[in-house]
Chain A
Amino acid sequence: MGQRLTTAVLAILGAAAFGALSTVAATDHTSVAGAAGRSGWMIPGLLSLGSMACLILALTLPTARPIVLALALLGAAWLVGLPNSGVWRSLTAVAGGWLLTVAELAYWSLDFRIAGRDQRTVYVRRAATIAALVGASVALSLVPELDLSATPTTGLELTAVGLLSAATLVAVAAALAWRLRSTL
């Protein structure tokens, strides 16, 4: 019970901090939300509140379904609150890692619904795995971030690169899924 509560509280606090940062970022008039006027910061604020509600609902019921909605709302809050330029944009890779951490903590909390004993080694291993996963994903996310800041692409080029990346990802995922099917 203790582990479940700890991870749930950490996930909610992480989501709250993420939402607060998105809202602060939206005070800049160059953001998507800023286009709505002086009260534009309220859009990411409301999205963050909705996300918090979904997360609390998911962790108290407990059920996994609202978590994906909470993460989507948090992601949307970040994207609409992001100023057109500046330090906030370069922090998107870190924000992605943060979002992944919140998601992992939330799902971890649900995994511990069934109380067990002698799980200390499991916690340590899981925490280390999450840290490694978040670190690796942030590092990978920083690559396009650096690339984008160096050479901003046009719409068509971006679309082409994006489509190619998506096709590559789908191909890799299909190959891995095929491997999973054949080995398991």
Chain B
Amino acid sequence: MTLTTSPKLGAYAALGAAGLLVALVWSYPEAAVLGLPFIVAVLAALALVERPQLLASIEVDRERLLEGDAVHLAVTVNSTTDVPWLQIAWPVPQSLVATGGGDILGVRLVARASATAETVLTTTRWGVVPLPRPLIRAHDGLGFFRFEGTLDFRKTLRVYPRPETLRRALSAAETQMFSGNELSRSRGDGIEFADVRPYEAGDRPRRINWRLSTRAGRLHINEMHPERNSDIVIFLDLHSDVRSGGQGTLDYAVRAAASLAEHYLARRDRVGVIGFGGVLRWLMPAMGSRQIYRIVDALIDSEVVLSHVWRGIEVIPPGTLPPKSLIVALTTLIDERVVDALLDLRARRFDLAVVEVMAEPFAAPGSHDAAQLAGRLWHLDRAETRLRYRRLGVPIVQWRPGEPLQGPLAEAQQLGRRNRWVNA
């Protein structure tokens, strides 16, 4: 603990010295008498001060939680010496809000007693948040000295994005081999009727359509669509994050990514993640409940790393983008590298859907004419970028942060179907 002195110490010493000096110079003993109490106070403070012997322990009720949840922190300080005035405070880090306790505790701590300071912090944003280290300040009895320090406490809070419940998300154009919840366009074993065709040797008798066979005079069998899973790759734009008022596009993009991952994994799809930014981050597609934890753990570490290196999709490991996978891109369409990378993916015949996280709510143009003009030009440029995607048959939808994701996804699904139909 660091020892600091109160300004009182210097002031009292100066007043006492001034009294003595005046008494000596002007032969005025009353000046010394007037200054004597201050000298007595300084001497008493110097004689009585002792370093407090404190032992502290910290309790955290949980270290993993969802956005909006609260974490309860408590620090208990024991002392082997008498501390006339002990102050314990919990600083509140960014992205957390104190919703309970939190006041500075100030107590007189007698020897072998303990004092506990509690606080309740509520999370406002996903991420890895270092837990605050409590500040401790012990004053001496006369208020001349104070011992200050922070407890050596290095724990982090993992705040996961709160996923939005999605009734339906985008469907992949083509399905994979494993069974799942997605209706395949191919024919095979399933429960969804697809078509009828004439009987061929080897067909199973239980699939014969008896009504049609009776009418046509020859055997026909029912064909079914099998239920298969699909590969989904969530492409997260980590090149840009437009922020305003403590919120930004990346906050919403990560929440949307977590919602999509949870939705697809619940449908037995394989889900992978690519964080395309200054530092490339990826997670190979996999299925199962463990994958959702891997994904959200990877997502909450997402951050924009400034880089001027021009990199395309060639830096993405090949296994991260399986054939026939659906790529759902969550991007602001601000960084040209991301725009080009997505166009490149489309050129390589990947099934691509773009959800544009609208940056406009976070970037209101200024009031003067030049700013208004710049804003209009920026909007035109973004509209032209969207048009480039539409020309290539990529379903691109705008998502205004704060609004439900379900609407833009349904719109993208409709656009995707229409594009596939037009392309066919």
A residues adjacent to B (C-beta < 8 A): 64-65, 67-68, 71-72, 75, 78-79, 82, 89, 92-93, 95-97, 99-100, 103-104, 107-108, 111, 114-119, 121-122, 125-126, 129, 133-134, 136-138, 140-141, 144-145, 148, 155, 158-159, 162-163, 165-166, 169, 172-173, 176-177, 179-180, 183-184
Contacts and interface: CB of A to CB of B under 8 A. Distances in A.
B245 interface: no
A93 B33 CA distance: 6
B177 to A, nearest CB: 64
B85 A126 contact: yes
B15 interface: yes
Nearest to A78: B34
B85 A134 contact: no
Contact of B36 (A67, A114, A141, A172): A141
A155 B25 CA distance: 10
27 contacts: A68-B7, A68-B15, A71-B11, A72-B15, A79-B28, A89-B30, A92-B33, A95-B34, A96-B35, A100-B38, A100-B41, A103-B11, A111-B6, A117-B103, A118-B105, A118-B106, A121-B107, A122-B85, A125-B141, A129-B84, A134-B37, A137-B40, A155-B27, A158-B27, A162-B32, A183-B50, A184-B49
Contacts, number: 164
B36 A176 contact: no
A176 B40 contact: no
A162 B33 CA distance: 11
A103 B141 CA distance: 16
Most chain A beta-carbon neighbours within 10 Å: one of B10, B20, B22: B20
Interface in B74-130: 84-85, 87, 89, 103-108
A129 B35 contact: no
B47 interface: yes
A173 B40 CA distance: 10
Contacts of A68: 7, 10-11, 14-15
Contacts of A64: 6-8, 11
B84 to A, nearest CB: 6
Contacts of A79: 22, 28, 30-31, 34
Interface of B: 3, 6-8, 10-16, 18-20, 22-24, 27-44, 46-47, 49-51, 84-85, 87, 89, 103-108, 139, 141-143
A22 B47 CA distance: 33
Q: Give the 9 A-B residue pairs with the shortest CB-CB distance, closest first.
A: A116-B106, A137-B37, A176-B46, A68-B11, A64-B7, A137-B40, A119-B106, A121-B108, A100-B37
Given A72-B18, A126-B84, A136-B40, 5 more contacts: A68-B7, A79-B34, A115-B103, A122-B85, A122-B108
A96 B37 contact: yes
Contacts of B30: 79, 82, 89, 92
B332 to A, nearest CB: 42
A115 to B, nearest CB: 7
A162 B104 CA distance: 46
A38 to B, nearest CB: 24
A116 B20 CA distance: 39
Nearest to A163: B24
Contacts of A177: 46
A107 B6 contact: yes
B104 A75 contact: no
B84 A65 contact: no
A50 B43 CA distance: 29
Contacts of B33: 92-93, 96, 141, 144-145
Nearest to B107: A118
Contacts of B103: 115-117
A117 B107 CA distance: 8
A107 to B, nearest CB: 5
Given A122-B85, A129-B141, A180-B46, A137 B104 contact: no
Nearest to B23: A162
Nearest to A140: B40
Contact of A116 (B12, B41, B105): B105
A165 B32 CA distance: 10
Nearest to A69: B11
Contact of B12 (A89, A103, A119, A141): A103
A183 B104 contact: no
B90 to A, nearest CB: 12
A53 to B, nearest CB: 17
A108 B107 contact: no
Nearest to B139: A111
Contact of A133 (B44, B46, B50, B89): B44
Given A78-B34, A111-B143, A136-B44, A117 B108 contact: no
A92 B34 contact: yes
